[in-house]
Amino acid sequence: MRRVTIYDSMSRSARVFAPLEPPRVGLFVCGLTPYDEAHIGHARTFVFFDVVARAMTRWGYRVFSVQNVTNLDDKIIDRAAETGEDPLALAEGYFLSWRAASERLGIHSVNYFPHATDYIGEILRQTELLIERGHAYASAGSVYYNLSKFPAYGALSGQRTEALRPGARVEVDPAKRAPEDFVIWKAATPGEPSWDSPWGPGRPGWHIEDTAITLRLFGPRYDLHGGGLDLIFPHHESEIALAEATTGESPLVNYWMHGGLLNMGGEKMSKSLGNVYSLTTALDEFGPMVLRFFYLNAYYRSPLEFVRDKSLEEAREAYDRLALPANRIAEIVERDGPDRAGTELPEALAADADALVERLDATLAEDFNTRESIALLFGWTRRLAELLGELASFSGDALATLRAPYDWGTETLGLFVREPTGRAGAWEKVVPIALAARARARARGDFAEADRIRDELAAAGIRLEDHASGTRWEFREPS
RNA sequence: GCCGAGGUGGCAGAAUGGUUAAUGCGACGGACUGCAGAUCCGUUUCCUGGGGGUUCGAUUCCCUCCCUCGGCUCCA
């Protein structure tokens, strides 16, 4: 297992990672509240934790990755009331939509997506235990966490409860003993989904959903907890209070990892601000590779600025150039197979490829520095630039060596995955017909006709490039 | 107000107690091309929020101030 350092939000420092039970690693990431379509801000966080899981797996850890689904909360209920749908059905619809988008994005590392409502039994058990131990109290059909009994509250966020501004954004619930107490079990209002409990019909509060899930799946302590920076307070802080009061064990989480937010117009991208860009739209327009590249081209903890009509266009230019040698090699190998004959690599070049892969691992192992890894990969693309014309002369083995750094990028960053053919299959046959007609026109010097064909193809989303070896084409929406 | 995260070239963004502060985008020049695009080569040596301090040396460590963003009880 490779030595990995992780910036831990709790200690506010980079620490060498040591799993509780090597090589096993428990990773819990706070997932979505599916009350609407996901936007590209959400996906930043999940792509990053996908890289964490991919990289750790490569380095010999056995990662069990869990992403919860808050499939019932106020926003979902409100939304369902608007549309007349059943709240749980509405949530499941948006969850499945998110699953589809995240699959397209290449997020395949999540082992399990537990839904909060599948853990009601665990939640009730934990709530009762907390009341028994004096850490929670029932009031008006709800159950609240008694913060005065948990002095360690605030360690993660640095917040002191006496300095908070109760009601700054959310109204204070009069049933609470103290305004900083948070709800564990919420009394049902008529018409919303509810479960029977010793305190009457109700539904779980947000924070306990996660601790119920992790206590059951990971036990009282586990390795990694991730999520967006905006969840530190109160959500993660409250998870600690709930779990540690329930189990008596500490710390709940060994390493807290928080991803920076995606900003648009200098502000957090969020539904309530209205500055959202849908994930599905982004995937349709730019494809998964460009999006992943855009996210991973920055350190995960820093805020990242998304500029409409600029950021992803820029990322596409950069990614296309970065991936060019990888794609050319893939084309040759797809055509001739991995055992194709050809010249071998100069020894120095082969050694450099090996050394680069080691450097890439070492770089990424320092708190998942994806940006620096990409910079190194650009170095390799520059190195291969002069070989682009003669790639076809190399043997299959030689090409595999040249491709190794890109394969590393596929394994860890999820980049350099070529678009699946699918519908593109038909185009593969049709476009060459038009290209042949254009080639004949060019051969007889009828450039007006040649340009007409090129323009019409461009308007249809097929872009051409003429090369000495022939005409290359690709899908590219006209700009 | 309190807590937290950030302030680096035209833009996006790394890194480091020490030669010209990475990488990319963009821009400019050249090669290639019927043209265009793509690609390749070269240039973009005047960029580390302000002020103090520690040090032979600070963008990096410490203090302070300013600015931006996030959170302050169900937001990735």
Residue whose pair of structure tokens reads 């990694």 in the numeric block: A224
Mean pLDDT across the stretch A20-30?
96
pLDDT digits (tens, 9 = 90+) for A437-465: 888 888 788 889 989 999 888 888 888 88
Strands A253-259 and A267-268: unpaired
- What is the rounded distance in angstroms from the CA atom of residue A410 to the CA atom of residue A326? 10
> Given a cut of 90, is residue A272 above it in pLDDT?
no
pLDDT digits (tens, 9 = 90+) for A195-239: 999 999 999 999 999 999 999 999 999 999 999 999 999 999 999
- What is the rounded distance in angstroms from the CA atom of residue A60 to the CA atom of residue A442? 56
Domain residue spans in chain A?
5-259, 309-413, 424-475
As a CATH number, domain A5-259 is: 3.40.50.620
What pLDDT sits at residue A162? Answer: 72
User: Which positions on strand B lie below 7 Å from a protein C-beta?
Assistant: 1-7, 11-15, 22-26, 32-41, 68-76
User: Does residue A443 reach within 7 angstroms of strand B, measured from its CB?
Assistant: no
pLDDT digits (tens, 9 = 90+) for A278-322: 999 999 888 899 999 999 999 999 888 898 888 999 999 999 999
Percent of chain A having pLDDT more than 70? 95
Q: Is A445 exposed, middle or buried (0-12, 13-18, 19+ CB in 10 A)?
A: exposed
Task: Please give the nucleotide, over all strands, whose C1' is closest to the CA of residue A321.
Answer: B39
Q: What residue has its CA nearest to the C1' of B74?
A: A206
> Given a cut of 60, is residue A430 above it in pLDDT?
yes
> Given a cut of 80, is residue A335 above it in pLDDT?
yes
pLDDT digits (tens, 9 = 90+) for A90-134: 999 899 889 889 989 999 999 999 999 999 999 999 999 999 999
Mean pLDDT across the stretch A383-393?
88
Q: How confident is the model at residue A422 (pLDDT cuts 50, 70, 90)?
A: very low
> Given a cut of 70, is residue A79 above it in pLDDT?
yes
The secondary element (H helix, E strand) that includes residue A433 is helix A424-443
Task: Please give the nucleotide, over all strands, whose C1' is closest to the CA of residue A42.
Answer: B76
> Given a cut of 60, is residue A258 above it in pLDDT?
yes
Measure the CA dihedral A279/A285/A53/A253, to 10°: -20
> Given a cut of 80, is residue A170 above it in pLDDT?
no
> Given a cut of 80, is residue A407 above it in pLDDT?
yes
Q: How confident is the model at residue A419 (pLDDT cuts 50, 70, 90)?
A: low
Arithmetic mean of pLDDT over chain A: 90
Contact criterion met (CB below 8 Å) for A3 and A16: yes
Task: Please give the nucleotide, over all strands, whose C1' is closest to the CA of residue A464.
Answer: B37
What pLDDT sits at residue A171? Answer: 62
- What is the rounded distance in angstroms from the CA atom of residue A77 to the CA atom of residue A85? 9
What pLDDT sits at residue A35? Answer: 92
The whole-number Å distance from A11's CA to B76's C1' is 22
As a CATH number, domain A309-413 is: 1.20.120
The secondary element (H helix, E strand) that includes residue A470 is strand A470-475
The whole-number Å distance from A381's CA to B24's C1' is 12
The whole-number Å distance from A179's CA to B2's C1' is 16
Task: Please give the nucleotide, over all strands, whose C1' is closest to the CA of residue A206.
Answer: B74
Q: How confident is the model at residue A22 (pLDDT cuts 50, 70, 90)?
A: very high
The whole-number Å distance from A470's CA to B34's C1' is 15
Q: Which of residues 10-39 of A touch strand B (CB under 7 A)?
A: 12, 30-33
User: Does residue A261 reach within 7 angstroms of strand B, measured from its CB?
Assistant: yes
A243-to-A146, A209, A217, A239 alpha-carbon distances in Å:
13, 11, 13, 6
More confident residue, A440 or A251: A251
Q: What residue has its CA nearest to the C1' of B22?
A: A375
